[in-house]
Amino acid sequence: MWLECIECGRKFDVGSRFYTCPECGGLLEVELDLEAIKKKLGDRGLGPEPPRVWKYRDFLPIFDDSKIVSLGEGGTPLIRCDRLSKEIGIEELYVKFEGSNPTGSFKDRGMTVGVTRALELGVRSVACASTGNTSASLAAYAARAGLRCVVVLPKGKVALGKLVQALIYGAKVLAIEGNFDEALAAVRQLCEKRGDIYLLNSLNPFRLQGQKSIGFEIAEQLGWRVPDKVVVPMGNCANIWAIYKGFFEFKAVGVTKEVPEMVGIQAKGASPIVKAIKRGLDTFEPVEKPETIATAIRIGNPVNGPKAIRAIRSSGGTAESVSDAEIIKAQKLLARLEGIGVEPASAATVAGLKKLARRGEIARDDCVVCVATGHLLKDPEEAIKVAAASRLMDGEVF
């Protein structure tokens, strides 16, 4: 395996400890010897055990299995949603419910690999900037590994359910004025100044390797069939790339035959990637003051934006933005029609799917998977407002 810059193509030793290309500043990706993996799988296959992140050990860039830090992440349900699919107007719809991970979001998949990598490097401290889910997950896995954890959050802009997780797991929490992009700049500066602190934002290419397992699991749970489209909410834009990479690697080694079209959804108040895709651009213009009820995707300058654009374009996919009102409506639909409670960022996928289906950009006979990235109780204050606004009035009969 090796590190490779997605911009200039330069390759670096996988043991190098930097987060972007030292030559051009581009994003790095961990690349694997897929031919070697193909041969290994040809000899023994993936095994019969149920899907979990570490079932796909051959695809994860870790050298020392004794260092693996796990809380039993992955193996999240892929739920067929027939009532919701009828409402939207498609025949086969699934929700990949990442809220059932240990800390309630998909971030645990990345942190099990990222924190394991930290132990391999021998560091004693890890750090991240966060809109909430990243901090909750890193704090939990750092506690499990016995590492010190520092998280930098935008003051007053993190959902209570996520903040309390970071605190209870023992992280040192620093709140700064400004938005997520400014928090990330601050934590990057801290990690550059202190060489003993390992950065575990999605800028770190090792963290994204764990998130590939969402794609692996979807394929396995569908009986080694690839859906036509996978719909993903985009904040810092790492997840859509990671899921695409998972499907790409499965195809490359012969486990599956196709890569699905990747569909990225952003909130209207924080949609730089959607605008770039719709305008046919290869670069995006950051949103200076991103605003949306969906705090997990309230990011105006996504670090992994270039990877997201590549994933969407390479797969023949598309992108769409949705309003806060559409997000809330979709959140209630998913809860009431299917009994699945998700935070607003997750509901954005359903809102985006509904809009695309209405315009005919999603065919009625497409098989579609919406990735629901976080649990309803990640943002309890928002959930209470939504529930209270639609409660039964005194004396109402149903």
Average pLDDT over the chain, rounded to an integer:
94
Correct CATH for 106-206 of 3.40.50.1100, 1.10.3720.10, 3.40.50.12780, 3.40.640.10: 3.40.50.1100
Confidence tier at 393 by pLDDT (50, 70, 90): very low
In this prediction, residues 305-315 reach a mean pLDDT of 98
The Cα 205–Cα 252 span in angstroms is: 20
How does DSSP assign 315-340, residue by residue?
HT-EEEEE-HHHHHHHHHHHHHHH--
Was 238 annotated as part of a binding site? Answer: yes
Was 236 annotated as part of a binding site? Answer: yes
Was 383 annotated as part of a binding site? Answer: no
Was 367 annotated as part of a binding site? Answer: no
Confidence tier at 391 by pLDDT (50, 70, 90): low
Was 201 annotated as part of a binding site? Answer: no
Residues 103-155 pLDDT 10s: 999 999 999 999 999 999 999 999 999 988 999 999 999 999 999 999 999 88
The residue that leads in pLDDT, 230 or 192, is 230
Q: Are the folds of 78-104+207-386 and 106-206 the same?
A: yes
The Cα 172–Cα 125 span in angstroms is: 11
Q: Is the dihedral of CA 390, 391, 397, 398 positive or negative?
A: positive
Break the chain into its structural domains and give their ranges: 78-104+207-386, 106-206
Residue 388 burial class via C-beta count within 10 angstroms: exposed 0-12, middle 13-18, buried 19 and up: exposed
CATH number of 78-104+207-386: 3.40.50.1100
DSSP-assigned letter for residue 367: E
Was 239 annotated as part of a binding site? Answer: yes
Q: Is the dihedral of CA 348, 354, 358, 359 positive or negative?
A: positive
Q: How many CB atoms lie within 10 A of CB 248?
A: 17
Residues 196-221 pLDDT 10s: 899 999 999 999 999 999 999 999 99
Beta bridge partners of 78: 96
